[in-house]
């Protein structure tokens, strides 16, 4: 995560992007908010964008970055991998009292079954090795073909591709190894500990994560599920107005 230690953050919202994205992926959402989120903190997570060369790329290091780069009280939102990190942040004693609300977009608490998580970790390691042997252009094209990311218009697909080109293959490989679904522990059993309000945002076409959101809501103390019509996994790109509306809920205009 790129941190400007000389900046005095006076904001109420922090946005965490997904794997292979950068902070630029939030542009449409911020534009849709019409200035209400203009002071949002949108950092590049370690291994991505301006933070491509930061090491180590581990959950512990990313949480350390969040401790130093976020205000005393804020809403934390994350998309996909950024959503998993946001959940871990909300359970970190250093951040828990500072986070007033969570917004998770197309996110999950991880893989609950240890054997499935181990298999995913092996698959992620293989993919990381293949990423290192690719150019960023080759990887961006390959990742765009991931089934869960299907459904973007040509314009949005080009925008997502340009965002991915802002990364380096070495950084993405490190992020997959250190922050991937196989690497991070499951938080399914810890959801009961969260007492703050959570908004779970999923696209209507994203049936896998829609089911995950419904199961999460059943286990959480204070959760709402927002199913966004005409959207898939990348709901923040496809329907930025709907995502902005959820983010601005209960926030001072």
Across the range 174-195, mean pLDDT stands at 97
- Residue 69 is inside which H or E element, if any? helix 59-69
Using the 8-state DSSP alphabet, how is residue 45 labeled? Answer: P
Tokens of 136: 């960023």
Residue 8 · residue 28 · CB < 8 Å: no
Structural domain boundaries in the chain: 13-248
Fold type of domain 13-248: Rossmann fold (3.40.50)
Q: What is the pLDDT of residue 10?
A: 35
Across the range 79-84, mean pLDDT stands at 98
Q: How far is CA 110 from CA 85, 117, 128, 236, in A?
A: 10, 8, 19, 20
Q: What is the pLDDT of residue 251?
A: 59
37 pLDDT tier (thresholds 50, 70, 90): confident
* For residue 5, pLDDT beyond 70: no
Q: What is the pLDDT of residue 2?
A: 43
Q: What is the pLDDT of residue 249?
A: 82
The structure tokens 């990742």 sit at: 143
Q: What is the pLDDT of residue 43?
A: 96
Neighbours of 14 (CB within 10 A): 23
pTM (two decimals) = 0.93
């Amino acid at each position: 995560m790129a941190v400007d230690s000389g900046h005095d953050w006076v904001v109420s919202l922090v946005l965490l992007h997904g794997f292979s994205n950068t902070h630029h992926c939030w542009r449409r959402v911020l534009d849709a908010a019409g200035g209400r989120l203009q002071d949002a903190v949108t950092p590049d997570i370690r291994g991505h964008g301006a933070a491509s060369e930061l090491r180590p790329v581990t959950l512990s290091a990313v949480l350390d970055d969040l401790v130093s780069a976020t205000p005393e009280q804020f809403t934390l939102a994350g998309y996909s991998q950024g959503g998993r990190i946001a959940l871990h942040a909300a359970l970190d004693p250093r951040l828990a009292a500072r986070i007033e609300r969570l917004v998770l977009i197309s996110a999950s608490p991880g893989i609950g079954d240890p054997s499935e998580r181990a298999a995913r970790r092996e698959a992620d390691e293989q993919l990381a090795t293949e990423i290192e042997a690719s150019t960023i252009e080759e990887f961006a094209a390959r990742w765009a073909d991931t089934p869960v990311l299907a459904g973007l218009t040509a314009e949005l697909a080009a925008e997502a591709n340009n965002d991915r080109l802002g990364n380096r293959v070495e950084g993405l490989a490190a992020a997959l190894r250190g922050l991937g679904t196989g690497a991070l522990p499951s938080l399914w059993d810890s959801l009961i500990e969260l007492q703050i309000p959570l908004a779970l945002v999923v696209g209507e076409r994203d049936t896998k994560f829609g089911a995950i959101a419904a199961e999460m809501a059943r286990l959480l103390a204070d959760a709402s599920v927002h199913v966004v019509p005409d959207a898939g996994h990348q709901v923040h790109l496809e329907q930025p107005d709907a995502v902005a509306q959820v983010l601005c809920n209960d926030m001072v205009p």
